[in-house]
């Protein structure tokens, strides 16, 4: 049997933007007007507070009184960077990122591929995977706290019923990390899932058709078509996930209050504890700046890496 | 069509909901004013038995003051409560009356978050110094101004099993109390007697593992018999007495040596051992009394700790107190209602004493309603010998200070730190706090 293989252009990365004619004046004005609401809010609620934070970090500002307090120069910064508890907290945020990022990316990809391949009830699967993401963190934390509670919780009971040693989900450090990782997986998995689902829908069906004609099985299609074509999405999901995980606060605060003995306290909670609970607004601002610099450095490194990779593949 | 109707219905419901909410909290949230949902808005941090008693006292006020409404909000104990109280006050939306621990008062007062109680006209209601336990009133005074009305004193006390004590020959001749103990030899002998003559598995127990606050209370009590506060000058200078620390740790370790007392036991372990009559003494706060009362067949009594290392008995204690968070726009009527509410809580504090706490209000402390309560009446003296946390911006109930310093004490009790190493450990713990810049100028 002779098979005519239709020649198709290989899927390419989106074509480069058409040569940029300068947009007309009215178009530029429309652009400025349309972005204005965003810019105003951005300046007012992001850049503004950031600048206030920079100023505060040089003063001994008290959270509970108006006024800046005394000028203390860089001493807030020296105290932050020499405080072992700050670095412990930084490490906890990084550890949380290491624990949650790989499963959240891999499982979301797997989930999205599987959901795209079911024939019936696709909408139901997509909804079911995404639904937890819209539940507020306090609600999720309360529900999981019940499930983790020793003696009466669902999980300890299951462990007990099958005869496994019951881990101390709330009272021990290892148990605490397990508890918070599982909860985060269930809760935020949906976001990456949606990004992947959208990207999968963008893969042209004729590529699969061609592969099928060439005799590629489903697994080969996934490995050689879906996953490589999702490369750009993966790098986006990865950076979004790393940044989101480094920002962790609510799950750990609500579930474990950073305990036991501050052994799971993330850096945002350190900032909260010093800046609000101990009223040391200026010091908290300095800790925030150090953390901010670290985040910016990670994002910049990632961006640089991607650009280098992009230019090397283009060459 | 059906969908549109449903949407319209939902929208209508949401709208009416929003409008109903508008009348109070939402509107006040948008305008940044104090919510005005009741005549007296009261914040506290009590759950469990204490929470139930507090509700009873609120209800009594409602009954005697039918024209005045009270709205009580219970917030999570410890740092979360104090953070919310401070931020609500700083942003101009405080409650009218709040509960604080007196150990937390210095920072709140120095941050100007509290109105002096004199301003609320409490003096005219008869709330004056001479009617309070002096130690509590002194602690409610910061730099000459009284900022809080003490409600109780809750000391660290000595529980004992009556049956074991009888067998150990530790009961007095009348058989209604412990023989007087004085000094560490007496005390050590009593703990030994509980184990040997009394036949208990342990002479004494206390919660050690993962319980830094209890460890700190225990240490602080023994140490205070020998020396003053561990930090001075509003918490900026370490005043640790090396010899006193070593003596204290050596004493604690003499109790845990030879299996007299477990050096590694958690709260539920201590509870189980004392509840089942396997421990003669229990070192804990009086607030555990309601827990042990529920244990069937356990006969126990509670007394103040005797003098251990120093010449006089010392009780580590804290107090719950009522404060008026600062609010420049609180009306005269609201302030008067708040004062009435505080007075009513004091008058009803015999209810509060059910939770084990010693009323600070002397008219109640000397009333039949309180003196009929046993074992509460047996350790009233502890309120007069009370020693609080050192005055600093970082100390107090539920503070980081207690958990950090207590963490080192736990190591010492468990025998992993020699008396000498404990001194070094405590010094480095304290340094962390004394070198941090205080957020406000303390006096």
pLDDT in tens, B188-203: 999 999 999 888 999 9
**Cβ <8 Å between A63 and B113:** no
Q: What is the pLDDT of residue B428?
A: 94
- Distance between CA atoms of A314 and A13, rounded to whole angstroms? 10
Q: What pLDDT is recorded for position A314? A: 59
Least confidently predicted of A80-94, A117-131, A232-246, B319-333: A117-131
Residue A138 CB coordination number (10 Å): 12
- Looking at residue A184, its pLDDT comes to 95
The SS3 assignment for B369 reads helix
Chain A residues whose beta carbon lies within 8 Å of the beta carbon of residue B268: none
Domains of chain B by residue range:
36-150+320-359, 156-317+389-434
Sorted by where each starts, the structural domains of chain A and their CATH numbers stand as 63-314 (1.10.3720.10)
Contact of B92 with chain A, judged by CB distance below 8 Å, is answered with no
Find, among B412, B49, B365, the residue nearest to B220 by Cα. B412
d(CA A63, CA A47): 20
Which CATH number describes the domain made up of B36-150+320-359?
Answer: 3.40.190.10
For A76, which residue in chain B has the nearest alpha carbon? Answer: B437
Across the interface, of A65, A79, A277, the residue whose CB is closest to B79 is A277
- Residue A217 banded pLDDT, cuts 50, 70, 90: confident
The answer to whether A65 contacts B112, with C-beta atoms less than 8 Å apart, is: yes
- A-contacting residues in B 211-250 (Cβ below 8 Å): 212
Residue in B437, B438, B442 to test binding to A, most A beta-carbons within 10 Å: B437
So what's the pLDDT on residue A20? 58
* Rounded average pLDDT over A206-210: 90
**Is B407 in contact with A64 (Cβ distance < 8 A)?**
no
pLDDT at residue B81 is higher than 60: yes
Contacts of B83 in chain A (CB under 8 A): 276-277
Give pLDDT, residue B6.
46
CA distance B60 to chain A (A): 33
Chain A residue with the nearest C-alpha to that of B108: A64
Candidates B361, B367, B352; CA nearest to B286 is B352
* Cβ pair A115, A226 in contact under 8 A: no
Structure token pair of residue B96? 């009218």
B36-150+320-359 against B156-317+389-434: fold identical: yes
- Chain A residues with CB inside 8 Å of B395's CB? none
What pLDDT was estimated at residue A172?
Answer: 86
Residue B29 has pLDDT above 80, yes or no: no
Q: Cβ(B389)–Cβ(B107) under 8 Å? A: no
Tens digit of each residue's pLDDT (9 = 90 or more) over A162-201: 988 888 888 889 999 999 999 999 999 999 999 999 999 9
* B401 has a chain A CB within 8 A of its CB: no
**pLDDT value for B258:** 82
Rounded mean pLDDT, B115-143: 94
Q: How confident is the model at residue B20 (pLDDT cuts 50, 70, 90)?
A: very low
How far is Cα A171 from Cα A156, in angstroms, rounded to an integer?
13
Alpha helix positions (H), B174-277? 183-196, 212-224, 242-256, 267-275
Q: State the pLDDT confidence band at B347, using cuts at 50, 70 and 90.
A: very high
CATH number of B156-317+389-434: 3.40.190.10
Q: How far is the alpha carbon of A189 from chain B, nearest alpha carbon, in Å?
A: 29
B90 CA: distance to closest CA in chain A (Å): 5
Q: Is the pLDDT at A9 greater than 70, yes or no?
A: no
Distance of CA A231 to CAs A25, A109, A235, B432, Å?
Answer: 38, 11, 6, 48
pLDDT tens readout for residues B383-429: 999 999 999 999 999 999 999 999 999 999 999 999 999 999 999 99
- pLDDT tens-digit readout, B205-254: 999 988 999 999 999 999 999 999 999 999 999 999 999 999 999 999 99
Q: Which residue of A has its CA nearest to B87?
A: A64
B302, B154 Cβ separation under 8 angstroms: no
The answer to whether A60 touches A282, Cβ cutoff 8 Å, is yes
Q: Which residues of B touch A80 (CB under 8 A)?
A: none
Total CB pairs under 8 A between chain A and B: 56
User: What mean pLDDT is predicted for residues B264-287?
Assistant: 94
Mean of pLDDT values over A122-131? 89
Please check the confidence at residue A66 and state whether its pLDDT lies above 90: no
* pLDDT in the model for residue B12: 44
pLDDT tens profile A71-100: 999 999 999 999 999 999 999 999 999 999
- B410/A260 Cα distance (integer angstroms): 15
Partner-chain contact A65 B403, CB within 8 Å:
no
Test the B interface: residue of A64, A68, A168, A273 with most B CBs within 10 Å: A64
Mean pLDDT value of segment B313-317:
96
Residue of A nearest to B91 (CA): A64
Banded pLDDT at A126 (limits 50, 70, 90) = confident
Mean pLDDT of B336-363: 97
What pLDDT does residue A18 have? 52
pLDDT reading at A34 higher than 80? yes
Q: Residue A33 pLDDT > 90, yes or no?
A: yes
**Contact call for residues B430 and B240 (beta carbons, < 8 A):** yes
Burial of B348 (0-12, 13-18, 19+ CB in 10 A): buried
Alpha helices (H) in A43-172, listed in sequence order? 48-56, 75-82, 84-117, 122-130, 137-148, 154-161
Nearest to B87 among A76, A262, A276 (CB): A276
Q: Are A130 and A136 in contact (CB under 8 A)?
A: no
CA distance B300 to B278: 12
Token pair recorded at residue B122: 């409490």
Q: Which residue has the tokens 């450090």?
A: A173
Q: For residue A137, give both structure tokens.
A: 């963190």
Instruction: Answer yes or no: is pLDDT of B345 > 90.
Output: yes
Q: Where are the alpha helices (DSSP H) in A3-74?
A: 25-42, 48-56
Joined together, the tokens standing for residue B403 give 């958990």
| Rounded CA separation A173/A91 (Å) | 14
Contact: B400, A79; criterion CB under 8 Å: no
Mean pLDDT estimate for chain B: 91
Q: What is the pTM of this model?
A: 0.85
The alpha carbons of chain A give a radius of gyration, in whole angstroms, of 25
Region of residue A4 (phi > 0: left; psi between -120 and 50: alpha; otherwise: beta): beta
Of the candidates B153, B387, B439, the one whose C-alpha atom is nearest the C-alpha of residue A67 is B439
Q: pLDDT band for position B11 (50/70/90)? A: very low
> B394 — contact with chain A (CB < 8 Å)?
yes
pLDDT at B329: 86
Tell me, what's the ipTM?
Answer: 0.83
pLDDT (tens digit per residue) in B131-168? 999 999 999 999 999 999 999 999 999 999 999 999 99
Contact check, Cβ <8 Å, B89/A279: no
């Amino acid at each position: 049997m002779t098979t005519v293989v239709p020649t198709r252009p290989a899927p390419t990365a989106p074509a480069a933007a058409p040569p940029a004619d300068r947009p007309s004046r009215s178009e530029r004005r429309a652009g400025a007007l349309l972005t204005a609401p965003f810019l105003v809010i951005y300046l007012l609620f992001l850049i503004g507070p950031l600048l206030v934070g920079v100023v505060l970090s040089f003063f001994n500002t008290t959270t509970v009184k108006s006024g800046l307090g005394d000028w203390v120069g860089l001493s807030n910064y020296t105290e932050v960077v020499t405080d072992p508890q700050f670095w412990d907290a930084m490490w906890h945020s990084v550890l949380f990122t290491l624990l949650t990022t790989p499963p959240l990316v891999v499982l979301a990809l797997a989930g999205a591929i599987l959901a795209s391949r079911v024939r019936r009830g696709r909408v139901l699967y997509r909804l079911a995977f995404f639904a937890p993401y819209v539940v507020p963190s306090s609600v999720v934390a309360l529900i999981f706290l019940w499930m983790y509670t020793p003696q009466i919780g669902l999980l300890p009971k299951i462990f007990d019923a099958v005869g496994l040693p019951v881990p101390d989900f709330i009272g021990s450090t290892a148990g605490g990390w397990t508890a918070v990782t599982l909860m985060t997986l269930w809760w935020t998995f949906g976001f990456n899932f949606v990004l992947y689902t959208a990207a999968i829908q963008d893969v042209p069906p004729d590529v699969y058709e061609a592969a099928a004609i060439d005799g590629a099985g489903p697994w080969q299609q996934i490995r050689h078509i879906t996953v490589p074509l999702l490369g750009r999405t993966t790098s986006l999901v990865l950076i979004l996930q790393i940044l989101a995980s480094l920002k962790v606060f609510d799950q750990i605060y609500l579930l474990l209050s950073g305990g036991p003995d501050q052994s799971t306290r993330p850096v945002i909670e350190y900032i909260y504890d010093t800046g609000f609970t101990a009223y040391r607004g200026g010091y908290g601002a300095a800790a925030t700046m150090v953390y901010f610099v670290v985040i910016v450095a990670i994002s910049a490194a990632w961006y640089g890496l991607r650009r280098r990779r992009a230019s090397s593949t283009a060459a | 069509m059906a969908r549109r109707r449903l949407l319209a219905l939902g929208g209508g419901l949401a709208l009416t909901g929003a409008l109903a909410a508008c009348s109070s909290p939402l509107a006040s949230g948008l305008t940044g004013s104090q919510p005005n949902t009741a005549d007296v808005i009261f914040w506290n941090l009590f759950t469990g038995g204490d929470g139930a008693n507090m509700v009873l006292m609120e209800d009594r006020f409602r009954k005697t003051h039918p024209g005045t409404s009270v709205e009580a909000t219970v917030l999570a104990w410890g740092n979360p409560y104090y953070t919310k109280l401070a931020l609500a006050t700083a942003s101009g939306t405080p409650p009218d009356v709040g509960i604080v621990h007196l150990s937390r008062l210095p920072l709140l007062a120095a941050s100007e978050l509290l109105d002096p109680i004199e301003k609320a006209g409490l003096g005219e209601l008869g709330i004056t110094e001479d009617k309070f336990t002096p130690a509590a009133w002194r602690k409610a005074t910061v730099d000459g101004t009284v900022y809080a009305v003490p409600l109780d004193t809750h000391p660290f006390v000595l529980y004992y099993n009556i049956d074991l004590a009888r067998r150990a020959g530790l009961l007095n001749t009348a058989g209604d109390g412990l023989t007087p103990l004085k000094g560490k030899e007496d005390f050590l002998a009593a703990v030994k007697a509980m184990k040997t003559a009394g036949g208990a598995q342990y002479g004494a127990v206390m919660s050690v593992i993962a319980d830094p606050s209890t460890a700190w209370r225990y240490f602080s009590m023994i140490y205070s018999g020998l020396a003053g506060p561990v930090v001075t000058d509003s918490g900026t200078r370490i005043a640790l007495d090396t010899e006193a620390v070593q003596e204290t740790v050596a004493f604690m370790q003499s109790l845990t040596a030879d299996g007299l007392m477990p050096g590694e036991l958690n709260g539920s372990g201590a509870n189980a051992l004392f509840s089942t009559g396997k421990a003669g003494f229990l070192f804990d706060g009086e607030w555990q009394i309601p827990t042990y009362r529920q244990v069937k067949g356990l006969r126990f009594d509670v007394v103040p700790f005797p003098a251990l290392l120093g010449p006089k008995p010392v009780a580590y204690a804290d107090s719950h107190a009522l404060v008026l968070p600062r609010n420049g726009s609180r009306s005269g009527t609201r302030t008067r209602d708040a004062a009435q509410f505080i007075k009513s809580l004091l008058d009803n504090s015999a209810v509060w004493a059910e939770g084990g706490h010693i009323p600070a209000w002397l008219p109640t402390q000397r009333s039949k309603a309180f003196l009929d309560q046993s074992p509460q009446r047996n350790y009233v003296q502890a309120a007069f010998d009370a020693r609080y946390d050192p005055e600093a911006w970082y100390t107090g109930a539920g503070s980081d200070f207690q958990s950090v310093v207590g963490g080192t004490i736990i190591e010492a009790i468990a025998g992993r730190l020699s008396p000498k190493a404990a001194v070094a450990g405590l010094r480095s713990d304290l340094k962390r706090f004394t070198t941090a810049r205080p957020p406000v100028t303390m006096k």
